[in-house]
């Protein structure tokens, strides 16, 4: 059976999160770290600054044993998390002179003028344990669970909002306490199988439905353009038992079984085979080159990337004959083959990938509707070309085309 864990809720405060001017970076980081120590976040809530924080804390406290609240510990009038929790717990705020000294010293060292409002950050509720902030001015606070209040008061952790402050504080203070509170639950393993070219419905039919019948496995999916993360959570022994079934069902669509991305897999295959790559992109606008160069070590195998968006650039940079474009059109098998071959010869790379297509919403025709794309892969041995059809928005079109092209390269490298 899947083990029942402590119920942990996360409340992120800040109107800027709901306005969309700031992205929430806490859930993914905390969720990943929690799982590594055998814990899971059961729910996340985002609330604006102000009185909504009180209601969110009260409601979450009814459901959880551990409550983590981020933000609202600063010096300004909208930073009231500390005060709200102190009031709810019936705790008096007392000025902590050591924290006040640290704040003033930080201001002095950074040549900031100390403002009287900053003194609020040195107010510590009675009964709270202070987490010193080595990367900011607002300390974190821990309120152990208590009985006898008019509301259920679980363990409450108040952490600063900026990730540069929260993350080191969590590593040093939060996680050790959570390990102690959680006891010996044991740690499940999560394996993520990267699958390309197979939709999540087909993936579920081939493998997920059968595995979901087991009560010692948790099965999940995360779909992206032309890619699905197939997730299994369970003990290492159980995962080892079912993994051959996953491999057999997914077959050549499996990119990796350890959450390694398609791009990293391609980089590793190129490196292991002693091959190099160049790209010539039209409709993808450098998307392939960008995704590859996000991977550390790409410089060992990636020679160059050309964005030849215009017909003139295809001619001047890749040597595609103008008459070829005039006869067949820029979006054609003949042109994409010439693009790939030109990129390979120009760069001296072992392989070259090329893309040309109609991203839309305009520019299509009855013969070549929006979403039409040609992909070519050239090597000294041969040049292959494939026509695909991705009638979607421009960004998704670029993503799907790029991932399809990289997967063709991966499949070719797997045959070496």
Determine the Cα–Cα distance for residues 134 and 137; give it in Å rounded to an integer: 8
**Mean pLDDT (whole number) for 213-238:** 93
Q: How would you classify residue 362: left for phi > 0, otherwise alpha for psi between -120 and 50, otherwise beta? A: beta
Instruction: Flag whether pLDDT at 151 surpasses 80.
Output: no
Taking CA atoms, 57 is separated from 54, 62, 156, in Å, by 5, 9, 9
Cα–Cα distance, 293 to 278 (Å, whole number)? 12
pLDDT > 60? residue 1: no
Would you kindly state where each structural domain of the chain is located, as residue ranges?
Answer: 8-182, 189-256, 262-414
Among 3.40.50.720, 2.10.210.10, 3.40.50.970, 3.30.70.2860, name the CATH number for the domain at 189-256: 3.30.70.2860
3-state class percentages of the chain: helix first, strand second, coil last, to nearest 5? 45, 25, 35
**pLDDT tens per residue, range 6-25:** 899 999 999 999 999 988 99
pLDDT at 405: 97
What the block records as the tokens of 35 is 């799982």
Task: Check pLDDT > 90 for residue 393.
Answer: yes
pLDDT in tens, 362-390: 999 999 999 999 999 999 999 999 999 99
In this prediction, residue 186 carries a pLDDT of 62
pLDDT for residue 134? 92
CA gap 192, 260 in Å, rounded: 9
How far apart CA 220 and CA 208 sit, in angstroms, is 8
Strand spans (E) along 202-350: 218-224, 227-234, 254-256, 277-281, 302-307
Q: Which residues pair with 123 in a beta bridge?
A: 95
Q: What is the phi-psi region of residue 228: left when phi exceeds 0, alpha when psi lies from -120 to 50, beta otherwise?
A: beta
Helix (H, G, I), strand (E, B) or coil at 189: strand
Q: Is 367 exposed, middle or buried (0-12, 13-18, 19+ CB in 10 A)?
A: exposed
Instruction: State how far the Cα of 329 lies from the Cα of 332, in Å rounded to an integer.
Output: 6
Classified as helix, coil or strand, 103 is helix
How far from chain centre, in Å, is Cα 70?
A: 20
CA-to-CA distance for 6 and 177, rounded, in angstroms? 13
112-136 tens-digit pLDDT: 888 888 899 999 999 999 999 999 9
| Tens-place pLDDT, residues 46-96 | 999 888 999 999 999 999 999 999 999 988 888 899 999 999 999 999 999
Say yes or no to pLDDT of 345 above 50. yes
**Which CATH superfamily, name and number, covers 262-414?**
CinA-like (3.90.950.20)
User: pLDDT band for position 188 (50/70/90)?
Assistant: confident
DSSP 292-306: HHTSTTGGGTEEEEE
Distances in Å between the alpha carbon of 234 and those of 3, 212, 231, 260? 9, 12, 10, 19
Distance CA 173, CA 274 (A): 46
Q: In the predicted model, is pLDDT for residue 230 greater than 50? A: yes
CATH of domain 8-182: 3.40.980.10
Radius of gyration of the CA atoms of the chain, in A: 27
Residues 228 and 198: beta-carbon distance below 8 Å: yes
Q: For residues 138 and 159, give the distance between their C-alpha atoms in angstroms, rounded to a whole number.
A: 9
């Amino acid at each position: 059976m899947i083990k029942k864990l402590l119920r942990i809720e996360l409340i992120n405060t800040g109107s800027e999160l709901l306005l969309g001017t700031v992205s929430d970076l806490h859930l993914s980081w905390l969720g990943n770290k929690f799982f590594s120590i055998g814990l899971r976040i059961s729910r996340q809530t985002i609330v604006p600054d102000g009185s909504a924080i009180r209601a969110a804390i009260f409601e979450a406290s009814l459901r959880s044993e551990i409550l983590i609240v981020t933000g609202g510990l600063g010096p300004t009038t909208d930073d009231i998390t500390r005060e709200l929790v102190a009031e709810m717990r019936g705790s008096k705020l007392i000025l902590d002179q050591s924290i006040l000294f640290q704040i003033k010293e930080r201001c002095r060292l950074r040549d900031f003028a100390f403002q009287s409002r900053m003194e609020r950050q040195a107010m510590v509720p009675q009964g709270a344990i202070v987490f010193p902030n080595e990367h900011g001015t607002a300390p974190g606070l821990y309120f152990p669970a208590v009985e006898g209040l008019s509301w259920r008061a679980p363990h409450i952790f108040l952490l600063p909002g900026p990730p540069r402050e929260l993350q080191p504080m969590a590593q040093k203070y939060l996680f050790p306490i959570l390990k102690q509170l959680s006891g010996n639950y044991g740690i499940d393993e999560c394996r993520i199988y990267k699958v390309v070219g197979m939709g999540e419905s087909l993936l579920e039919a081939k493998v997920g439905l059968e595995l979901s019948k087991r009560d010692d496995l948790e099965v999940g999916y995360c779909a992206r353009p032309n890619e699905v993360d197939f997730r299994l959570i369970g003990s290492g022994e159980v995962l080892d038992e079912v993994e051959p079934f996953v491999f057999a069902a997914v077959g050549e669509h499996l990119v990796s079984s350890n959450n390694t991305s398609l791009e990293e897999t391609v980089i590793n295959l190129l490196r292991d085979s002693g091959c190099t790559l160049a790209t010539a992109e039209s409709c993808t606008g450098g998307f392939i080159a960008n995704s590859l160069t996000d991977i550390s070590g790409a410089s060992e195998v990636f020679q160059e990337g050309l964005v030849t968006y215009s017909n003139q650039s295809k001619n001047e940079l890749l040597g595609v004959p103008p008459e070829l474009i005039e006869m067949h059109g820029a979006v054609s098998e003949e042109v994409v083959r010439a693009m790939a071959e030109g990129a390979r010869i120009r760069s001296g790379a072992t392989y070259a990938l090329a893309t040309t297509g109609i991203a839309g919403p305009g520019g299509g025709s009855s013969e070549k509707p929006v979403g039409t794309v040609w992909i070519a892969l050239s090597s000294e041995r041969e040049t292959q070309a494939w026509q695909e059809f991705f009638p979607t928005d421009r960004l998704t079109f670029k993503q799907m085309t790029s991932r399809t092209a990289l997967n063709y390269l991966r499949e070719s490298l797997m045959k070496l």
